[in-house]
């Protein structure tokens, strides 16, 4: 074991966890309409807790354990003292640290997916959806790209451009299709209820990405330092480009737009953070601030298909598009010496740019083919499996809240509201014909 590596990895894991709780809890709760603040934050908090339970009981081993079939890992516990305290694979950290770090990745993936269905999904359906999607979708992507599955040692995905972001964006968009849209007037007018808190939540997300990408080498080494620097270069560039596009087209800067540009930059650099040079990270930031901007702000509004599906926070554009873009750019800009330094035992092909310079074009094209194959596999699997999960749950539960409850929001879903506007946290019933049951310990004297 190495105490320095373990200390850094625990810090990185904590930073990734903070991205979800409180990061996305605050971001979701403030980025939606006031009547959905509690529900949106609560969906994130619930997912974080349940993913951890599932992760140690079966999902970690399904992702990183023994192979049960070419695309599926064997479910097993990750709880035994002997197992958790032994060295994790080829790194100098305990397995317990590795389990927790990978849990934080899994949790944020599910929470990012949830951003597509805010403002109308039945919370009880969400409670069932989370463990099912983690088990039958997330573990498959992780096992095949990072574990011992079919695409093992084939795809360049430094920290989860495909495993986390492409899967969450595609699955969120698919779930949004099956759940159905928000109320028409909510969809047309859905302002953030607290932009200051939204920016604060976005700050947790950005700074937390230091651990997201910096933790992937599982060591405190030179690749870690490069990954962290590249992450922030790409993100800052992406935010600037997105903001510039807003100002050029709409003649006004937008805090919401800046957050979207920040997110696309973070997502785009994720699969390449430690295996590209800083100039390439800046280039990726310029592309992640412009291409997802175009798909969200122009293509989405013109396309009948995109208009049909109500993706509340635009996760398809900020995560699926940006994640795919990052994965493909990894196949173009990955530097051979950095690939060798990070993937010490696996000969990945150089990026297409370097392949042309070094006369290794065929190796680069082969690697580019694997990058495309990985994107197609993850996207296809998530469309199919997410659809099957939603169809299955719809046989037992309403995926979407009923119209009457959608008009009310948090009060109908949880009997709680985000802001007390009068009294000491007491509320007049917003629907007198409906009786609220308040637990005795919550009543005021």
DSSP bridge pairs for 69: 72
pLDDT of residue 344: 80
Instruction: Tell me: pLDDT of 442 over 90.
Output: no
Task: Give domain status of residue 432, yes or no.
Answer: no
- pLDDT confidence band for 431 (50 / 70 / 90): low
pLDDT of residue 349: 85
Distance of alpha carbon 388 from alpha carbon 402, whole angstroms: 22
Instruction: Tell me: pLDDT of 436 over 80.
Output: no
How confident is the model over 362-368, as a mean pLDDT?
A: 94
Beta-carbon contacts of residue 128 (< 8 Å; ≥ 6 apart): 393, 397
pLDDT of residue 441: 41
Query: What does residue 26 show for φ and ψ, rounded to 5 degrees?
Result: -70, -45
Residue 22 contacts residue 200 (beta carbons within 8 Å): no
Task: Give domain status of residue 441, yes or no.
Answer: no
CATH number of the domain within which 95 lies: 1.10.3430.10
Burial of 277 (0-12, 13-18, 19+ CB in 10 A): middle
Distance of alpha carbon 68 from alpha carbon 66, whole angstroms: 6
Whole-model pTM?
0.92
- Domain around 361: 3-407
Tell me which H or E stretch contains 72. Answer: strand 72-73
Task: Give domain status of residue 386, yes or no.
Answer: yes
Residue 389 contacts residue 177 (beta carbons within 8 Å): no
Give the chain's domain count. Answer: 1
Each residue's pLDDT tens digit, 314-352: 999 999 999 999 999 999 999 999 999 998 877 788 999
Tell me which H or E stretch contains 209. Answer: helix 195-214
pLDDT of residue 421: 62
How confident is the model over 230-259, as a mean pLDDT?
A: 96
pLDDT of residue 316: 96
Residue 336 contacts residue 358 (beta carbons within 8 Å): yes
Token pair listed for 321: 């598009």
Token pair listed for 340: 């060798």
Q: From its phi and psi, is residue 317 left (phi > 0), alpha (psi between -120 and 50) or beta?
A: alpha
Task: Give domain status of residue 440, yes or no.
Answer: no
**Mean pLDDT computed over every residue of the chain:** 92
- Of 101-105, 411-415, 421-425, where does mean pLDDT reach its minimum? 421-425
Each residue's pLDDT tens digit, 56-88: 999 999 999 999 999 999 999 999 999 999 999
Instruction: Tell me: pLDDT of 432 over 70.
Output: no
- pLDDT confidence band for 440 (50 / 70 / 90): very low
- pLDDT confidence band for 428 (50 / 70 / 90): low
DSSP bridge pairs for 32: none
Give Cα 194 distance to the centre of its chain: 22
Distance of alpha carbon 232 from alpha carbon 289, whole angstroms: 14
Pairing of strands 72-73, 67-69: antiparallel
**R_g over Cα of the chain:** 22
Distance of alpha carbon 81 from alpha carbon 15, whole angstroms: 25
User: Would you tell me the crossing angle of helices 167-179 and 95-114 to the nearest 10 degrees?
Assistant: 40
Task: Give domain status of residue 186, yes or no.
Answer: yes
- pLDDT confidence band for 429 (50 / 70 / 90): low
Each residue's pLDDT tens digit, 283-314: 999 999 999 999 999 999 898 889 999 999 99
Distance of alpha carbon 129 from alpha carbon 386, whole angstroms: 9
Each residue's pLDDT tens digit, 18-55: 999 999 999 999 999 999 999 999 999 999 999 999 99
**What is the percent of the chain where pLDDT is above 90?**
87
Residue 64 contacts residue 142 (beta carbons within 8 Å): yes
Each residue's pLDDT tens digit, 123-158: 999 999 999 999 999 999 999 999 999 998 899 999
The string of DSSP codes covering 32-43 is: S-GGGHHHHHHH
Closest CA to 84 of 118, 46, 56: 56
Tokens 């297409």, located at residue: 352
How confident is the model over 247-261, as a mean pLDDT?
A: 94
Task: Give domain status of residue 118, yes or no.
Answer: yes
Task: Give domain status of residue 429, yes or no.
Answer: no
Residue 145 contacts residue 162 (beta carbons within 8 Å): yes
Tell me which H or E stretch contains 267. Answer: helix 255-269
User: Would you tell me the crossing angle of helices 278-288 and 222-250 to the nearest 10 degrees?
Assistant: 30
Instruction: Tell me: pLDDT of 444 over 60.
Output: no
Task: Give domain status of residue 38, yes or no.
Answer: yes
């Amino acid at each position: 074991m190495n105490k320095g590596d373990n200390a850094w990895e625990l810090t990185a894991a904590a930073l990734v966890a903070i991205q979800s709780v409180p990061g996305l809890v605050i971001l979701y709760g403030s980025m939606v309409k006031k009547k959905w603040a509690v529900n949106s934050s609560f969906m994130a908090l619930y997912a974080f807790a349940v993913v951890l339970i599932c992760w140690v009981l079966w999902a970690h081993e399904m992702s990183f354990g023994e192979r049960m079939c070419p695309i599926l890992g064997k479910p097993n516990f990750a709880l035994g003292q002997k197992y958790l305290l032994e060295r994790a694979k080829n790194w100098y950290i305990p397995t317990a640290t590795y389990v927790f770090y990978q849990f934080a990745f899994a949790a944020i993936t599910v929470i990012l997916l949830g951003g597509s269905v805010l403002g109308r999904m039945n919370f009880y359906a969400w409670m069932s959806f989370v463990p099912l999607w983690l088990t039958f979708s997330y573990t498959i992507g992780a096992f095949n790209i990072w574990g011992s599955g079919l695409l093992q040692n084939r795809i360049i995905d430094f920290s989860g451009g495909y495993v986390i972001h492409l899967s969450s964006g595609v699955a969120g968009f698919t779930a949004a299709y099956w759940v159905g849209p928000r109320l028409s007037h909510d969809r047309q007018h859905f302002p953030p209820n607290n932009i200051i808190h939204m920016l604060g939540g976005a700050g947790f997300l950005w700074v937390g990405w230091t651990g997201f990408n910096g933790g992937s080498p599982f060591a405190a080494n030179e690749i870690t330092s490069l990954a962290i620097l590249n992450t922030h270069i790409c993100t800052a560039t992406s935010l600037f480009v997105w903001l510039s596009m807003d100002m050029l087209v709409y003649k006004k800067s937008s805090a919401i737009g800046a957050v979207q540009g920040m997110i696309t930059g973070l997502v785009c650099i994720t699969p390449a953070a430690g295996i590209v040079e800083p100039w390439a990270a800046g280039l990726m930031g310029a592309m992640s601030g412009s291409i997802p901007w175009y798909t969200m702000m122009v293509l989405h509004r013109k396309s009948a298909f995109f208009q049909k599906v109500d993706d509340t926070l635009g996760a398809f554009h900020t995560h699926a598009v940006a994640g795919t873009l990052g994965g493909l750019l990894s196949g173009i800009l990955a530097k051979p010496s950095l690939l060798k330094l990070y993937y010490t035992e696996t000969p990945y092909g150089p990026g297409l740019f370097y392949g042309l310079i070094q006369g290794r074009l065929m190796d680069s094209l082969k690697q580019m083919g694997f990058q495309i194959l990985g994107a197609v596999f993850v996207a296809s699997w998530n469309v199919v499996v997410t659809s099957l999960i939603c169809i299955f749950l719809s046989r037992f539960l309403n995926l979407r809240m009923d119209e009457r409850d959608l008009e009310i929001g948090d009060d109908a879903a949880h009997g709680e509201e985000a802001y007390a506007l009068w009294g000491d946290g007491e509320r007049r019933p917003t629907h007198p014909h409906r009786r609220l049951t308040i637990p005795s310990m919550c009543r005021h004297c």
